[in-house]
Each structure stands twice: as structure tokens, then as C-alpha cells.
A and B are shown apart, each in its own frame.
Chain A
Amino acid sequence: MRTYLVRRGLETAASILIVAFLLFALVDLMPGDPIDLMLQADPRLTSADVARLKALHGLDRPLLERFGAWLSGALRGEFGFSRLYGLPVADILVPRLGATLLLVGTSFLFALALATVLGTSAALRPHGLVDRLVNLLALFAVSVPSFWLALLAILLFSVELGWLPAGGEPAPGAGFGEWARRLALPVGVLTIGSVGPLLRFVRSGLLEALREPCIRTARAKGAGTLRVAWGHALPQALPSLVTVVALQTGGLLSGALVVETVFAWPGMGRLVYESIMGNDYNLALVAVLAGAAATLLSNLAADLLHARLDPRVQLG
């Protein structure tokens, strides 16, 4: 167990490092480094100034050397400054991280609850009416472009009915009701956007578990439908569900980028988009890396949890 833990941990760390390096190399290919952008703003700068400034900030060094310098700073928690905001990157990221966690976490819990309830009802009677409706919902959820769904939601609930605000963040010190009103549409869209695969996994996982002989035994001993489904079948399907659910983290973060941009929610996704559009590559680099690291770590956690939940899994 311990060697497995160490190996998977090292693997994950190496993956994050590789992703960091690739992102760093990509930033090098972005239109305009900070000095070029300064040059655009100030036509009096001469090429000698540019060369001096690039040397001063180390921009003339080879890629690997610059990455090493960036990495040693990052490991000490210094991620540099944002060009757009003129603040340390970490100061910008922390509140954004909270906003995204709130949005993504709430949507994920809703999607999981919805998938469990609907997936169970579908699996209990395959090819029945409920099953067909659930399959239809899953198909719709994986096929609909979430930004369009967001526009439709704004059109219906904000423009036509006027029930909910079209977006934006709550004012500082707002109460629970205001937060709920602001979050309702983004959470709704992100929930639908991420429920599709979950619904299919829960349904097929349960269907498989329900065919086990122990289920027949439980039924024969008089266990009710719900007890069979949630007491006996779901625990069996759970270990493999944990793995596939963790794989959805990346999809959730992708969805968050869209939903946050359309609804002007001040989270990480919108930050990535804004910083790329504003040529603030240092900020974009750290924000994207944080998202990538989060997904890789959640997959690591799911692997370990899988082993804990399923005693048959031998780690080695």
C-alpha cells in the first residue's frame, strides 16, 4: 500500500510538473511578451531600451533556465505579478478559487443527487417510461452546448419572466437569499451540463450490480425495492463510480469557464478567459495550472478511495 501510494504520488507530481512546463513553453508562443506590450504603449522606447529591459528581467535567457527560475519561485509560493491587475497572482487567485469552488461544488452535489435518484429509478425498471425519460435527459445533457443553455436561461428567467438576475456577483455583505438568487442560473446550467455522464454511469453501474446473485438473495429475504437498490446494489457499484466521477472534474472545470463567462461570475474559469484575452499570461498560466493540478489530484484521490472501498483491489 505504501509503495503504491508513493508511486502514484510521484507520478501525479511528475504529471503536474510536465503540464507546468508545457504551459510555460506555450506562454512563450503567445503574442507579445511584457516588454513588447510596453513597447506598444510607449513609442519612445528604443531597441536598446528593449534589449536592456529584456536582459534585466531575464527574458533573453533560454526557456529551461527561465522555467527553473519560475518553478523555484512557485515552490516558495511566489507566482509573480498580474499585468492586468498589478497585484500578486496569489492575491487574485484566492477569492476567485472560493467563488469557483462554491459554484462547481454546489453544481456537482446537485448533479450527483440528481444522477443517483434518477439513475436508480431508471435502473430499477429498464426500458420503462422513467428509464426512457432518463435516457432522453442524459442524451440532451451531453449534447446541449452549455453556453447556449445559459443564454436560453437568461432569456427565459431574466428577460421574459424577470425572476432572476442575468449574472454578476452579489454585493459585499449580501445575505443568503441574494447569493442563492445570483447562483441559481449558473448552478442550474452547470448541473445540467455535468449530469449526463453521471446519470449514465449510475444507471449502468446499478444495472450491472442488480444482476448479482446476492441481489436475488436479498430480494428473496424480503428486502424492499429501495433497500435492494441503495442498501445492496449501490454499495457494489460505488467503487467504480468513484473513479469515473473523479474523471468528471475536468469537465466540470471546463463547464465552469463557460458558465462563469456568460453569467459574469468572478471565478477561476472567467479569470482564465479574461487573462488570456488581456495578454496577462503569467496569471493565465497559474490559473490553468491550478485547474489541471486539481483534476490530477482528484483522480489520485479517487484511485486511493477506490482501493479503500473495494477490498478486492490489490495495490502493488
Chain B
Amino acid sequence: MLGSTRVSSSGDPRPRAAGRTGDPLTRSAGLVLLCLSLATVVGPPLGAAFGLDGERIDLASRLAPPGAGHPLGTDELGRDFLVRLLQAGRISLLVGIAGALLTALIGAVLGLLAAFARGPIDALVMRTADIVLALPLLPLLVVLAAVDPTRLGLPAELAASPFLDVARIVVLVAVFGWPLTARLVRAGTLSLLAAEHVRAARALGASPLRVAFRHVLPALGAPIVVATTLAIGQVVLGESVLSFLGLGVRPPTPSWGNMLSNAQELLWQAPRLALWPGFLILLTVTACNLLGDGLAETADPRARRP
């Protein structure tokens, strides 16, 4: 989303069932992501079993250093920092995965539409993609995040719920993230539409929808998965920036971004509050980028970095 992707859309988009299962770096990146997700799911209930609570405010033990009672200490309200980090990770990863999936969905639909329709619709979709790719993302996200949901006709109750915070970010990142997938899908679809088997299917009278879902999309699975993996990292980054600025996930719902926003004011007293959430964001995004690049190489060995 922020321009770090390097997905090959060269000639043949069909996945190659290569014998390679990825290099050790790709595998460990996948392992890191898996462990992180597991920890955020299993960690908080496990912590509760040991009497660690990420929600309970305990002003008597504010900013306690790491020790026996709290493995990573407590935050400015006396909540267990480790459990809170994992709870925040749950939200951040959820936003990342949901945002990337929605991005892929919108991108795939628009890419297919452009390639099948050609003509003015194609031109409109692709020119919009160019413009969206060029525009400064963050200022626009800041403006969009400030929109009052009640003015869009949502009931005030729903507008104030933490669910909407999360849903809003997911929608916002997808609104700006689709162009890369759309370009990829359009290019892949165009080359597939020229391929013999797809032309045969069309000649036999298959409807455009059937061609799209039976013959085109399955063949584009690999590049879409790669783009989506890379997008997870970019969405996690985007969510953290917005939440850091106070426009994303809002406290008391924790996310890595808004934890950093609190930590900024306590930088002098408790730097560890700033170190951990940022490190976990860095770890997640790095792992997504490595995994995406590695998957791209596995799926299409010719796209290997020279």
C-alpha cells in the first residue's frame, strides 16, 4: 500500500507447483507470524489464569518495573503490560488481516471488471487506481477518519461502539489499498483472456461470470495471495499510525498504535512502554514483507529477485 510491494505481474501469472517450499527466511517469517497470532489469542486467557489482567486498573502499582508479578511490568494505570500488549496485538492483527482481505476483494472485483469490460470502464478504473496510488495516503486517511459516522446515517449507539472503530479502519485502508491488487488482477486477466483454454471456454458459450470465476480467478490465486500477504503488513502499519494519532482504534480498546500514543507522554519515565509495541509492529510488518516476497518467489520462480 505504501509502495513497498514487488509483485511480479510478468507474462504468465499461473502458479507453478515448484518443488521449492521457500527458503528458511520465508519459513521463519511465516513461523513468527503464526506464533504472534497464537500468542495474541492464547496469551490473555492464559495470563488471566496466572492472575494477570490487561483491563483491571490498579493505581497502587502504576508503572511497576518488570518483575515476578508482572513479566513486563505494568503501564501508567497499573494494568499488566504483557497481557495488554497481547490484547492490543489481537486488535492490530485482526485489523491487518480483515483490511488486507477486503483490499483483495475490492481489488479483484475491480481488476476483473476492468479487464472484462475494456473501453471506458477500464480506463476509468485504471486512471482512478493511478490517482489513488499517487495521492498522499496519510493526510487523506486523517481527513476520512474524522468523518462523523452519525452524519452517514448510522445510529449514534453503533457510531460510538469499539466495533465501528475497527470496521472503519478496515474500510478506509481498503478504499486506498485496492489499486495494487486491481492492477495485478487486470494484467493477469488480460493475458489469460488471450490464452487458448479461456478462449475455448468463451467460444463454447461460457458466460463472463463463469469464465471469471472458473477459469481466471483460480489461475490468479498465487499473485493475489502474495499481494494480500504484503497488504497485511501495510495495513498493520497504517492502523498503527492512525491509532497513534488518535484517529484509529480508540482507548480503552488497546492496539499497538494507541499504546504508543500513551507511551509518548511517558517516554522519560518508562521508555519500555514505547519500545515493546513498536517492536511488535516492526516484527509483524517485516515478517509479512519477507513472507510475501518469499511466496512470490515460490509461486513464480522467474520473478526471483535477480
Contact = CB atoms under 8 A, between A and B. Distances in A.
Interface in B7-53: none
A89 interface: no
Contacts of B290: 139
Given A148-B278, A155-B274, A254 B138 contact: yes
B245 A261 contact: yes
A247 B3 contact: yes
B152 interface: yes
A277 B146 CA distance: 8
B210 interface: no
Given A151-B274, A254-B137, A258-B241, A15 B131 contact: yes
Nearest to B246: A277
Mostly helix, strand, loop or mixed at chain B's interface?
helix
A250 B132 CA distance: 10
B134 A143 contact: no
Contacts of B135: 19, 250, 292, 295-296
A163 interface: no
B140 A292 contact: yes
A159 B244 CA distance: 21
Interface string B219-247: 00000000000000100010011001111
Interface string A142-157: 1111111001101100
Among B134, B233, B271, B289, chain A packs the most CB atoms within 10 A around the CB of B134
Interface residues of B, number: 48
Contact of B131 (A31, A142, A197, A296): A296
Interface in B254-306: 260, 263-264, 267-268, 271, 274-275, 277-278, 281-282, 285-286, 289-290, 305-306
Contacts of B3: 197, 247-248, 251
A214 interface: no
A249 B139 CA distance: 13
A4 interface: no
Contact of B147 (A30, A154, A288, A292): A30
22 contacts: A11-B127, A26-B143, A26-B147, A29-B152, A30-B146, A30-B147, A32-B148, A142-B2, A143-B4, A143-B233, A143-B285, A145-B237, A147-B240, A148-B277, A154-B267, A200-B6, A250-B135, A250-B137, A258-B241, A269-B139, A272-B143, A276-B146
Interface of A: 11, 15, 19, 23, 26, 28-32, 126, 139-140, 142-148, 151-152, 154-155, 159, 196-197, 200, 204, 207-208, 247-251, 253-255, 257-258, 261-262, 269, 272-273, 276-277, 284, 287-288, 291-292, 295-296, 299
